[in-house]
Structure 1
Amino acid sequence: MLSAVEAMLDPSMLALSLWLIGVSIEGELQPPYLILAVIVFSITFPGTSRLQFSLKRLVFDVLYSWFWVMTLLLLLGIATGYVHEFSHQALVAWLWLAPLSQIGAHLVLRAAAPTLLALQGPPQRAIIVGLNDQGAALAGRIHKARYSKIALSGFFDDRSPDRLSRAEDSPLLGRLHELPGFVKTQRIQFIYLSLPMASQPRILHVLDELKDTTASIYFVPDMFVTDLIQGRSGTVCGTPVISVCESPFTGSNGFIKRASDIVLSLLILALISPLLLLVALAVKLDSPGPVIFKQRRYGLDGEEILVYKFRSMRVCEDGETIRQASREDSRITRVGAFLRKSSLDELPQFINVLQGRMSIVGPRPHAVAHNETYRNLIKGYMIRHKVKPGITGWAQVNGYRGETRTLDKMQARIDHDLDYLRNWSLKLDLHIILKT
């Protein structure tokens, strides 16, 4: 949330301050001011993150950036003659008001940051693998970060205590073989690997052991291994890191994904509402039982969610062992057979999308019992839970939908799900929706 606000902050303040000056001096918002606002928004978006800056550095950085933006705009305005569309008084006023409005907005954001962080829920738990100098430095930066959502639990390392670096307020939690169990039981969300390049076999072993978790994994450079899910670089409290296993829906991507889900699901629900009523009536008349079947599935980060479907069977199984439905399954009702063949039984899940439990496009959610089986058979199976499950997905539009009779078919489905995580874009989502 803070990243999204910061991305919009500087461009918005520059545009709004220009509009304010245009209205106050010209009496109305004239077209040249609108056009210039669009131009300045375009060249300054996304804004710079300055929450961790000192006040002195904040002021200097804003003034420095504004100097170059204003210089560029003036040169373009003089070269094209467009500068004559504005009064001299308006340009001088904007020259001073724009950076002042930016500085003021950043100060307001700092005051509101604790509230915004609280709205995002409890802190996200993290551990560091490798109590060396770079690991200790990362821990120090996490503890000193004023607006971080990361709560560092401690370190894991196999070396003897006399070879370990010192890290204040971060205890040694155990050895590497204890790491997977700790991550699962304590619901760790971030893992930072601070191991030297010479430890490549140990790194690969740790990664292999962590494939059954939903934690986001990052390297603290310098190192590189193949088979990365994203391989994107970034920073954690000022320390450079490389993602190994991370959700693609972070920052602005997360906002775009959620906004598209809400808009599209509302539009689709409005269009199919008569069909929903007809299907509900058919299910009720065909066999006794509830219209909507609720089943436990794994959602984002492996958390259990309730998924809605139109009931297509005479039973509502949701236990520890669930037999996957087959074509000639005697449990399926007459109406249920048609609903399953046409996928109309999935339509209530658009309500799950509005609730925030699911997305329109993503890996299909499996029953909890099936998840517990396949997570032990397919390496990397749980990585698909780094994103919200979807009503449809890349695997489904490529032929891997419905019953999976063999392990090879489930492996192919998982491979397509991971391919979706690597290559996500809004364009790909729309393509999958249209193919569905």
Structure 2
Amino acid sequence: MTAAPRHVRDAAAPAPAAHPPRETRPSALPSSPLPPASVREHRTAEPNFTAEERVTGWTRLSRFGIGPLLLALDLVAVGGALVVAEWIGREVGEDSPFRKTAAFAVVFLLAMGQAGLYRSRLALSVLDDLPALVGRWGLAAGVAVIGQIVWSNALWRDYIIDWRFLAGAAGVGVVVIVFRAAGYAMVRRLRSRRLVAHRTLIVGAGRVGHQVADILREHPEYGLHPIGFLDGDPRVMSGPSRLPVLGGPAALPAVLEGGRVNNVVVAFSTMKESEMVRLIRTCDRFRCELFVVPRLFELHQVDGEMDTAWGLPLVRLRRSTYRSRTWRMKRLFDIAFAGGALFVLAPLMLLLALAVRLDGGPGVFFRQERVGVDGRTFEVLKFRSLRPAGGEAATTWNIADDPRLSRFGRILRKTSFDELPQLINILRGDMSVVGPRPERPHFVEEFRNVYPSYEARHRVPSGLTGWAQIHGLRGDTSIADRARFDNYYIENWSLWLDVKIILRTVGSVVRGAGG
């Protein structure tokens, strides 16, 4: 039997016994990782909600977010301001610079979106938004002026002082601010009357959890209606909250799966932080918002990216990458990239296939079972680097000293050219261009029992390259470090991060840094 890799032998935990392959549930790609056993056991015991906890009559308008409302108000404000400016210009006999003002308005709206002025927030205040609005107004005005100069090839002196444009742009800005103030007042009123009320669970029934519940019940203008606690060892406290304890923290996935909760506030609980992180990661595909009360919140400085509820800072966790709009572009990017790469690299791949055939005889491709998203297995394709003599064992960690590894096979692995057939896996949807590298089932079973955060890598499709690989974490390197880097990639994913990883991967291939 082949020994486990160095980083598994050196782990503090004893080597786990062999486990049979676990069943994987079919789901649309991508879906949430399989939760730990403690969580799965609670799926059959979903808490019962009383009529007060359901608040069905109060949440009919909650499905409409603040972002679409603000965008609609801004569009009406901008459109109305442009029409009024054009009408005033005609009344006074002046030609209104309509095109330049319209271009300014478009840039202004885009800049406000980039500044996060359409994101959902608990505390709504135009005065809080005013610095960002004024800054984006100046940016849009500058872009419109410069664009008009370049477009018309005019002299600077003709556009440095254009009072008609400045008046129109100022009017747009003022109307946007007025409409936003009215929109915020309307949202606060709807929340206060419980016409917009998001059902909220509080994880942690200690002093801080009860403080959160009291604030949310006494101040409905934040739009969060607490319905209960989740805590394995709750404190019995008196006060206006007096909400029921609906179970332990491990019941959170079951509660969210029922679709009766819109928001979760994680206060302090007796659950270990490492276990809480793992629990939250199993729930990050459900359509709910997650807030965390920061440690030492009394000393925490509140910035523009945080929410507050009656002086209590709340960190809104970033929406899971799979729920973002740009995530849908990732698959399109994968198809375009893999298809283009196969077209460009087809001559090279044909030469490599011929060389593999001459070096080791029949059998150009090597096929091996790997674990991908949600623990589902698939067959990965590689150019064969070992001479055919039984194939690479499913429990062999490193084949660097394998006598079947030919000189040409070492070159393939050093340049990472043996991975090129995985472009076909990407087109088939088994993998993505960028993501955690897939591993064999035998080692997944070992690693997931030794390293608690390892299984969280399977939240997204596996990749041809990844954040861990470009940092040298491949081959016989720390599995704990790999899991940490892969989870960092998942939590901080963006299209630009994918592009950066691809560029650094190309640099590594050019330098021959594979292995």
TM-score tier after normalising by the smaller chain length:
0.5 to 0.7
Deviation at 1:211? Answer: 5.0
The Cα offsets for residues 274-324 of structure 1, whole Å up to 9 and x where unpaired, read as 6469969969x9868999877442x3xxx3445563266799999xx8655
5 Å-filtered alignment, 1:115-126, equals none
Alignment check: 8 A CA contact 2:266 2:293 kept: yes
The Cα offsets for residues 117-169 of structure 1, whole Å up to 9 and x where unpaired, read as xxxxxx999661225423434775999987x9x9978411414546697455x
Deviation at 1:372? Answer: 3.3
Partners of 1:4 and 1:307 lie apart in 2 by: 40
How many residue pairs end up in the alignment? Answer: 374
Partners of 1:236 and 1:306 lie apart in 2 by: 44
**Aligned CA-pair RMSD:** 6.3
What residue in structure 2 maps to residue 435 of structure 1? Answer: 504
Is the aligned partner of 1:348 residue 2:414?
A: no
The Cα offsets for residues 312-347 of structure 1, whole Å up to 9 and x where unpaired, read as 6799999xx865573477999999998764111321
Partners of 2:459 and 2:371 lie apart in 1 by: 18
SS at 1:310 equivalent: strand
SS at 2:449 equivalent: coil
5 Å-filtered alignment, 1:107-118, equals none
5 Å-filtered alignment, 1:311-330, equals 324=397, 326-327=399-400
What residue in structure 2 maps to residue 396 of structure 1? Answer: 469
- Of 364, 385, 404 in structure 1, the residue corresponding to residue 437 of structure 2 is 364
What residue in structure 2 maps to residue 83 of structure 1? Answer: 163
Note the residue ranges of structure 2 that are not aligned, 5 or more in a row: 1-63, 146-158, 188-197, 285-289, 298-302, 506-515
Deviation at 1:433? Answer: 0.8
Deviation at 1:194? Answer: 1.9
Partners of 2:405 and 2:496 lie apart in 1 by: 36
Note the residue ranges of structure 1 that are not aligned, 5 or more in a row: 110-122, 225-230
5 Å-filtered alignment, 1:410-429, equals 410-420=479-489, 427-429=496-498
Which structure carries more helix by proportion? 1
SS at 1:347 equivalent: helix
- Of 224, 227, 230 in structure 2, the residue corresponding to residue 155 of structure 1 is 230
Partners of 1:127 and 1:317 lie apart in 2 by: 50
Deviation at 1:399? Answer: 2.0
Q: What is the letter of the counterpart of residue 156 of structure 1?
A: D
Q: What is the letter of the counterpart of residue 309 of structure 1?
A: V
Partners of 2:466 and 2:326 lie apart in 1 by: 17
Deviation at 1:374? Answer: 1.3
Quickly say closer, same or farther: Cα 1:83–1:28, change in 2 above 3 A.
closer
Q: What is the letter of the counterpart of residue 381 of structure 2?
A: F
Quickly say closer, same or farther: Cα 1:159–1:371, change in 2 above 3 A.
same
Quickly say closer, same or farther: Cα 1:98–1:400, change in 2 above 3 A.
closer
Is the aligned partner of 1:128 residue 2:214?
A: no
Partners of 2:364 and 2:106 lie apart in 1 by: 57
Quickly say closer, same or farther: Cα 1:337–1:211, change in 2 above 3 A.
farther
- Of 159, 172, 189 in structure 1, the residue corresponding to residue 246 of structure 2 is 172
SS at 1:241 equivalent: strand
Partners of 2:491 and 2:81 lie apart in 1 by: 40
Is the aligned partner of 1:378 residue 2:444?
A: no
Alignment check: 8 A CA contact 2:454 2:483 kept: yes
Quickly say closer, same or farther: Cα 1:162–1:69, change in 2 above 3 A.
closer
Q: What is the letter of the counterpart of residue 380 of structure 1?
A: S
Q: What is the letter of the counterpart of residue 82 of structure 1?
A: D
Partners of 1:126 and 1:330 lie apart in 2 by: 59
Alignment check: 8 A CA contact 1:308 1:346 kept: no
Quickly say closer, same or farther: Cα 1:218–1:101, change in 2 above 3 A.
closer
Partners of 2:494 and 2:227 lie apart in 1 by: 32
5 Å-filtered alignment, 1:10-409, equals 31-41=99-109, 44-45=112-113, 46=115, 48-49=117-118, 81-85=161-165, 128-130=203-205, 132-137=209-214, 154-159=229-234, 161=236, 166-168=241-243, 170-174=244-248, 179-180=249-250, 182=251, 192-195=265-268, 202=270, 206-213=272-279, 214-215=281-282, 219-221=292-294, 223=296, 234-235=306-307, 240-242=313-315, 249=321, 254-256=324-326, 258-259=328-329, 262-263=332-333, 265-273=335-343, 275=345, 295-297=370-372, 299=373, 303-305=374-376, 309-310=380-381, 324=397, 326-327=399-400, 341-342=416-417, 343-351=419-427, 359-385=432-458, 389-401=462-474, 403-404=475-476, 409=478
Deviation at 1:434? Answer: 0.8
Quickly say closer, same or farther: Cα 1:417–1:138, change in 2 above 3 A.
farther
The structure number with the bigger radius of gyration is: 2
Partners of 1:311 and 1:323 lie apart in 2 by: 16
Deviation at 1:255? Answer: 3.5
Alignment check: 8 A CA contact 2:468 2:482 kept: yes
Alignment check: 8 A CA contact 2:382 2:422 kept: no
SS at 2:472 equivalent: coil
Quickly say closer, same or farther: Cα 1:95–1:11, change in 2 above 3 A.
closer
Point out the more displaced range, 390-399 or 151-160.
Answer: 151-160
Partners of 1:233 and 1:94 lie apart in 2 by: 26
Deviation at 1:413? Answer: 1.8
Partners of 2:408 and 2:226 lie apart in 1 by: 51
Quickly say closer, same or farther: Cα 1:325–1:41, change in 2 above 3 A.
same
Quickly say closer, same or farther: Cα 1:104–1:136, change in 2 above 3 A.
closer
Point out the more displaced range, 33-42 or 271-280.
Answer: 271-280
Deviation at 1:48? Answer: 3.8
The share of aligned pairs that are identical, in percent, is: 18
Deviation at 1:272? Answer: 2.0
SS at 1:81 equivalent: coil
Q: What is the letter of the counterpart of residue 247 of structure 2?
A: L
Partners of 1:292 and 1:28 lie apart in 2 by: 68
Quickly say closer, same or farther: Cα 1:126–1:162, change in 2 above 3 A.
closer
The Cα offsets for residues 368-411 of structure 1, whole Å up to 9 and x where unpaired, read as 5533321221243345456654332121112222x44xxx5212
Partners of 2:215 and 2:405 lie apart in 1 by: 55
